[in-house]
Amino acid sequence: MPRPMTITEKIFAAHAGVDEVEPGQLINCQLDLVLANDVTTPIAIREFRRIGVDHVWDADKIALVPDHYTPNKDIKSAEQAKMMRDFAREQKISHYYEIGCMGVEHALLPEQGVVGAGDVIIGADSHTCTYGALGAFATGVGSTDAAAGMATGEAWFKVPASIKFVVDGELGPWVSAKDIILHIIGLIGVDGALYQAMEFCGSTIDALSMEGRMTICNMAIEAGGKSGIIAVDDITREYMEGRTERPWTEYFSDEDATYAAVYEIDAAQIKPTVAFPHLPSNTRNVEDSRDVWVDQVIIGSCTNGRLEDLRVTAEILKGRKVHENVRLIILPATQKIYRDAMHEGLFDIFLDAGAAVSTPTCGPCLGGHMGILAAGERAVATTNRNFVGRMGDPTSEVYLASPAVAAATAVAGHIALPEDLE
């Protein structure tokens, strides 16, 4: 009889074709999806050519999304995108998303039904861990590993130990999934889950929407995690039903599975949180941060650019104006989210408030385009990283927060809570 296993260990065992695995074990797994973007695909293509194979292992199990520097910001980014486009056409990649039908990859692929529960997914982007929200094992890899995956449909792993985060109770006013994950990262540090699977559960997690769950798993990497994962429930099934293109498999942790650590967190103790420069773990309560004045606010990214996030933003901006000293840039994460927000009238609220609305792109999150910071400027962003120079000049500063706090900050001109505007 197999040893008691966590959800992550069960997924690995199934994809390695063995009855059981344990942390630290080296295994070879069959992959369900390999993905890359316009920054990482060109490197992967060059490595793919060096391997010497003519065709990818499965043209339906590779996703290429040019989202980081697109629409192309300069000649170099245009050449990168062209290389990616030509490869997708040559290899007849079915999941290639060009401008006009695209989005930020980690919002787009779940929306399009390309990922599902029980999958093993590697992506040449560190925030591939987002897909754990659907009950999949998903992790970021280097472009060379992505190339090998595209050629063979396989990848090797060291089975990670798991850490369980049990979040129970009811969240307070304006406290969201972003605050939960910032709270956890502040609690354990940026290396607190190094090469470990972060498993999230509890009544608070159960009550979250799929959007909220994706936000939490998206930032597992900011705590050093190999992955983030949330077990399938009725909310997950409703999201995947009629959307996910392949049959999915549900896995659940055994009650007596072994964890490297277990954290029990009272949701009532979590407050609206902001991560100060220059680490996601440098967290403080928003109520203690009102003296920070900002020049720019970014609402979007693979962390918080979904429709739920835009609705919260509109709720706070409605009937108000962006502070005269602040630039507010809103980036819907996919074309569908863009259209849905527009049809709901959210764009009118954004434009009336004095915000700029962008086509879907990663853009400023990685200092790409659509909102680069000058020397000494400060930004509050709903993105996932605030390292030195992340959004522009090395002397600029990025503060991470939820859409609610970001929207309130845009109106107040300084880090603020929504109730500060009343």
Residue 2 pLDDT exceeds 80: no
Alpha-carbon dihedral of residues 245, 238, 171, 261, nearest 10 degrees? -60
Domain end call among 241, 264, 287: 264
In a domain, 96, yes or no: yes
pLDDT single digits (tens) 317-338: 999 999 999 999 999 999 999 9
Both 310 and 259 in one domain: the answer is no
Domain end call among 244, 264, 284: 264
Residue span of the structural domain in which 390 resides:
273-417
- The pLDDT of residue 189 is 94
Strands 196-201 and 273-275: unpaired
Residue 17 pLDDT exceeds 90: yes
pLDDT single digits (tens) 351-362: 999 999 999 998
Both 227 and 310 in one domain: the answer is no
Q: What's the CATH code of the domain at 337? A: 3.30.499.10
Residue 341 pLDDT exceeds 80: yes
- The pLDDT of residue 100 is 83
Is the separation of the CB atoms in 178 and 209 below 8 Å?
no
- The pLDDT of residue 98 is 87
In a domain, 254, yes or no: yes
Residue 198 pLDDT exceeds 90: yes
Helices 177-188 and 210-218: crossing angle, nearest 10°? 20
pLDDT band at 287 (very low <50, low <70, confident <90, very high): very high
Q: How far apart are CA 320 and CA 318, in angstroms?
A: 5
Residue 101 pLDDT exceeds 90: no
Burial class (CB in 10 A: 0-12, 13-18, 19+), 78: middle
pLDDT single digits (tens) 48-75: 999 989 999 999 999 999 989 989 999 9
Instruction: Report the candidate in 52, 229, 62, 266 with the shortest Cα–Cα distance to residue 129.
Output: 229
Burial class (CB in 10 A: 0-12, 13-18, 19+), 26: exposed
Both 192 and 297 in one domain: the answer is no
Instruction: Report the candidate in 201, 196, 253 with the shortest Cα–Cα distance to residue 227.
Output: 196
The three-state secondary structure class of 63 is strand
In a domain, 52, yes or no: yes
Domain end call among 246, 264, 282: 264
In a domain, 1, yes or no: no
Which residues, listed in sequence order, are joined to residue 261 by a DSSP beta bridge?
A: 163
Both 238 and 284 in one domain: the answer is no
Q: How many distinct structural domains can be found in the chain?
A: 2
